[in-house]
């Protein structure tokens, strides 16, 4: 039997694609272990464990193992310990737990020096908890993680890309994977500025998982291509303002988390809320439409913020369903601003877009662009001069908003977003 705390921890770990050492040591049975060296390897991922009674581990590990080391049967000379630690490094061992009370009364300094040298987490482990219980917990953790990580993303992917699905079956599939979706659901399609590499995929997976579940506990996601992923969130009550604020906070936290690994959010599209998983496909199309409408062809360095399908104009929605005749429509004002931006490295297109979408509110547009109101006023005067017009004139605003929808549609189509 597991304590409530341990059960919740195992359930949390089950949602991870891979388990880092830093999470393993949160198990109650390992809570008294002391990290002695190799802290830079705490992000190493584990996939199994062994109890080692010999110096030559070459044929017994393949990478990602935790080694429990009682020291019995080993040659513990300095030369052989160095050889052992080099093998651990070469084989990419995830961590080493030196068990006290059998051969070791304390961990030899040579182990600590070599662990720090190679960046392998080295723990001192008191002999006070049955090793069989520790390995049982680890095996359960790894089994649940592998089973959950494989299925949840696939369940959501099948629901999203199927036109006609058995909603009740998909609900049961989620329940079997311990994802208890709430009554109201929304889909987010999140596009990054750069492609996801093999090196940072696992970390990104963990960051997406932890940030999503911090705000929407019952959720799921899958990676769609090299820089796009789809997130399903769910919640109990339909409170649009509150949900928008939670989504905004989730995305801001995610942006902060992934920035150190060289990733950043470019655009986000959010669907209408829905009840049945039978509507996942429709919601995905809505989120994609919002994503495409949010894509700015002008300045890739500006901060991203979510665009909701419910807030798109009817014209924008129509443009996403019409044929290539839209390509021939002229958007003189926006073309002029785009040319000016390209020549001068400015961001007048995005400034005007935010200004219009903010209802010509200087305060709201400045907040969206993360600039001072004086800066926005300066850019607004530049736009008026370039276009030889007054963008606060209601008729001019309507014309610019119409051109904006057409212009964005044309730009998105050219860039195959």
Per-residue pLDDT tens digits for 348-398: 999 999 999 899 999 999 999 999 999 999 999 999 999 999 999 998 998
Distance, in Å, from the CA atom of 231 to the CA atom of 205, rounded to the nearest integer, reads: 12
Instruction: Confirm whether pTM is higher than 0.75.
Output: no
Evaluate whether 37 touches 167 at the Cβ level (below 8 Å). Answer: no
> Whole-angstrom Cα distance, residue 260 to residue 250?
17
CATH of 4-143, one of 3.30.950.10, 3.20.20.70, 3.40.1390.20, 3.40.50.720: 3.40.1390.20
Which helix or strand (DSSP H or E) is residue 148 part of? helix 131-160
Q: Which residues of the chain have pLDDT under 50?
A: 1-16, 147-150, 296-302, 323, 417
The residues with which 222 forms a beta bridge, in sequence order, are 230
Residues 23, 13: contact at Cβ < 8 Å? Answer: yes
Token representation of residue 335: 């073309």
Q: Name the fold adopted by 144-312.
A: Alpha-Beta Plaits (3.30.70)
CATH topology of domain 323-417: Arc Repressor Mutant, subunit A (1.10.10)
Residues in contact with 103: Cβ distance below 8 Å, sequence separation at least 6, in sequence order: 70, 71, 72, 74, 76
> DSSP assignment, residue 279?
G
Q: What is the DSSP letter of 273?
A: P
pLDDT on residue 88: 95
The answer for residues whose C-beta is within 8 angstroms of residue 93's C-beta and 6 or more apart is 57, 61, 63, 64, 65, 66, 67, 120
Alpha-helical segments (H) within 295-391: 314-319, 332-344, 348-357, 362-369, 373-387
The residues of the chain that CATH labels 1.10.10.2840 are 323-417
Rounded CA gap, 269 and 189, in Å? 5
Are 52 and 102 in contact by the 8 Å Cβ rule? The answer is no
Answer yes or no: are the C-beta atoms of 403 and 326 closer than 8 Å.
no
Give dist(CA 84, CA 90) in Å, integer: 10
Question: Is the Cβ–Cβ distance between 192 and 266 less than 8 Å?
Answer: yes
Task: Specify the domain boundaries for CATH 3.30.70.1230 within the chain.
Answer: 144-312
Ramachandran class of 178: left when φ > 0, alpha when ψ lies in -120 to 50, beta otherwise? left
Residue-level pLDDT at 321: 56
User: How many Å apart are CA 70 and CA 78, to the nearest integer?
Assistant: 17
């Amino acid at each position: 039997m597991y304590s409530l705390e341990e059960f919740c921890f195992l359930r949390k770990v089950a949602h991870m694609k891979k388990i880092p050492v830093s999470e393993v040591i949160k198990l109650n049975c390992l809570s008294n272990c002391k990290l002695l060296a190799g802290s830079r390897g705490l992000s190493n991922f584990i996939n199994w464990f062994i109890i080692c009674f010999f110096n030559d581990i070459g044929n017994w590990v393949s990478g990602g193992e935790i080694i429990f080391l009682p020291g019995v049967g080993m040659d513990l000379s300095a030369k052989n310990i160095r050889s052992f630690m080099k093998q651990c490094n070469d084989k990419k061992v995830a961590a080493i737990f030196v068990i006290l009370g059998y051969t070791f009364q304390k961990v030899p300094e040579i182990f600590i020096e070599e662990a720090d040298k190679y960046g392998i987490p080295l723990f001192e482990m008191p002999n006070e908890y049955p090793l069989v219980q520790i390995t049982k917990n680890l095996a359960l953790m790894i089994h649940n993680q592998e089973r959950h990580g494989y299925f949840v993303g696939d369940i959501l992917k099948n629901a999203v890309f199927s036109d006609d699905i058995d909603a009740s079956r998909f609900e049961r599939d989620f329940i079997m994977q311990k994802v208890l979706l709430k009554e109201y659901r929304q889909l987010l399609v999140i596009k990054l500025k750069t492609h996801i590499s093999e090196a940072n995929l696992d970390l990104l997976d963990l960051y997406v998982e932890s940030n999503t579940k911090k705000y929407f506990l019952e959720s799921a996601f899958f990676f769609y291509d090299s820089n796009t992923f789809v997130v399903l969130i769910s919640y109990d009550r339909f409170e649009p303002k509150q949900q928008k604020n939670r989504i905004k906070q989730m995305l801001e936290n995610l942006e902060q988390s992934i920035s150190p690994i060289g990733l950043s959010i470019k655009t986000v599209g959010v669907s209408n809320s829905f009840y049945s998983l039978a509507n996942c496909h429709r919601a995905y199309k809505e989120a994609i439409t919002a994503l495409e409408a949010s894509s700015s062809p002008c300045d890739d360095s500006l901060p991203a913020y979510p665009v909701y399908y419910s807030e798109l104009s009817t014209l924008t929605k129509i443009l996403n369903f019409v044929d290539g005749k839209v390509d021939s429509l002229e958007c003189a004002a926006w073309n002029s601003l785009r040319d000016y931006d390209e020549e001068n490295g400015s961001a007048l297109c995005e400034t005007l877009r935010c200004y219009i979408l903010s209802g010509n509110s200087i305060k709201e547009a400045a907040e969206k662009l993360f600039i001072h109101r004086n800066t926005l006023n300066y850019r607004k005067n530049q736009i008026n001069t370039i276009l030889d017009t007054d963008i606060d004139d209601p008729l001019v605003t309507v014309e610019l908003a119409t051109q904006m929808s057409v212009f964005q549609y044309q730009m998105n189509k050219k860039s195959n977003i």
